[in-house]
Amino acid sequence: MDEKLRILEFSDLLNQIDGIVASEGRLLIMTTNYPENLDAALVRPGRCDRRWHIGYARVQELLRFYQRARENGARPMPPDLYLDALGDRPTIAAAQVLVLSSPQAEEAVTR
């Protein structure tokens, strides 16, 4: 079988994380929306030593992101409409979509 076509199996992933080919002194970041569905072998101590919950964005964070986008040339909707459009469970990803979907966003991003 051609090595390029080989399918990565779960055991291959675990070996890459901390097997014989693993490097010391590296930082591995894993993200998921469903931590309860992760296999215990993947998140055991030694493989996953720290966990952080990143919740919804706070209004201050959203406004700071909005302001930085404006400083870079984007002209998104007015701030009150921007916050209303994000709803009661806002994420930075949703804020990016709103800001980057403005007509001037492409110019601001390519600066």
Residues 19-57: tens digit of each pLDDT: 776 777 778 888 888 999 999 999 998 888 888 888 899
Let me know whether 74 and 88 are in one domain: yes
Let me know whether 3 and 50 are in one domain: yes
Neighbours of 18 (CB within 10 A): 14
Domain span at residue 96 reads 59-109
Let me know whether 73 and 39 are in one domain: no
Let me know whether 5 and 50 are in one domain: yes
Q: Which two structure tokens, joined as six digits, stand for 75? A: 């002209």
pTM value is 0.55
**In Å, how far are 1, 9, 100 from 5, measured between CA atoms?**
7, 12, 36
Let me know whether 68 and 105 are in one domain: yes
Tell me the mean pLDDT in the region 66-85.
88
Let me know whether 48 and 8 are in one domain: yes
Tell me the mean pLDDT in the region 75-91.
89
Q: How many domains does the chain have?
A: 2
